[in-house]
Amino acid sequence: MLARPTTAYFLQHSESGCLARCAYCAQSSSNPVSKERLSRVLWPACDLESVAPLVREAGFERACLQTVVKPGFLREALEFARVLRETGVSAPISVALTPVPRSQLEELRRAGVERIGVGLDAACPAAFAAVEKPYSWGTYVRFVRDAVRVFGTATVHLIVGLGEGLLDLLQTMGELTSLGADIALFPFTPVRGVRFRGRRPPVEEYRVVQAIRYLLASGREAGELARVEGGRLVIADDVLDVPLEAFLTSGCPGCNRPFYTESPTRIYNYPSIDLLRRDSEVVREQLERGVRLLGG
């Protein structure tokens, strides 16, 4: 199978939705849409104790819980980790959540959580405010620092297409990487009925962002990969030379999110190297076009 899921994904349930008011998210209580959906995926309600044995038997590389803001959400996340461990699930556990005190991060680590995902989503302070993220930009940055200190790293989610500028996005990726965090890139996925009226980013531009994310993770500096000269964006030649792996799904180890944010006919994040090799020529052409378009 070219796109077998390698992580077991779970979404915390709330009948009324998440108390955060993120304008682009179907889970937000401020958006009058079904709470069965997040991005392109339907999430049927299930009993964790019944599903946990299936996770163990399937041999997933990771189990991931996406939390929502609601009363008791942290208690449920701790219970999630406990049930998986008591069921014999040995795969690493990720929990994606909004900022909490460092003491609660330490509690999650003691419960068996291996990594924290941080749903920063918006890639610059202006876009962050425009889409009505909860808390403040500074609170999220401090939370990333705390997560790195407690867990050794963190996975920060960034959505391309929430109104950020390209240089803002690249600068933020560079700053987060310098803190010791990994970046998980998502293209914006429009959901009918939500308040944010955005559009999917051009796949050619997304390829450039993916390539730069890969180089940043390899130790490069943002300023040497893209800069403005004479009012024109200059992108380093190295961006064109990244290995194919740069276009695989980015995130926690073992996360491939098959078609979570895209259809099989227009892939942004490739869920497997076999599928990527099949489309390698197309992907390379998209990257080259993206560099030309962004460089003017």
CATH of the domain at 99: 3.20.20.70
Strand boundaries in the chain, DSSP class E: 7-11, 37-38, 41-42, 62-66, 93-97, 115-121, 155-160, 182-187, 226-229, 232-235
In a domain, 233, yes or no: yes
In a domain, 255, yes or no: yes
Q: What is the pLDDT at residue 240?
A: 95
pLDDT band with cut points at 50, 70 and 90 for residue 11: very high
The mean pLDDT value for 95-124 works out to 97
C-alpha 266/C-alpha 221 separation (Å) is 30
pLDDT band with cut points at 50, 70 and 90 for residue 191: confident
In a domain, 1, yes or no: no
pLDDT band with cut points at 50, 70 and 90 for residue 220: very high
Percent pLDDT > 70 in the chain is 99
Amino acid at 139: T
pLDDT at residue 152 tops 90 = yes
Domain that holds residue 157: 7-295
Average pLDDT score over the chain: 93
In a domain, 2, yes or no: no
pLDDT band with cut points at 50, 70 and 90 for residue 45: confident
Domain total in the chain? 1
In a domain, 72, yes or no: yes
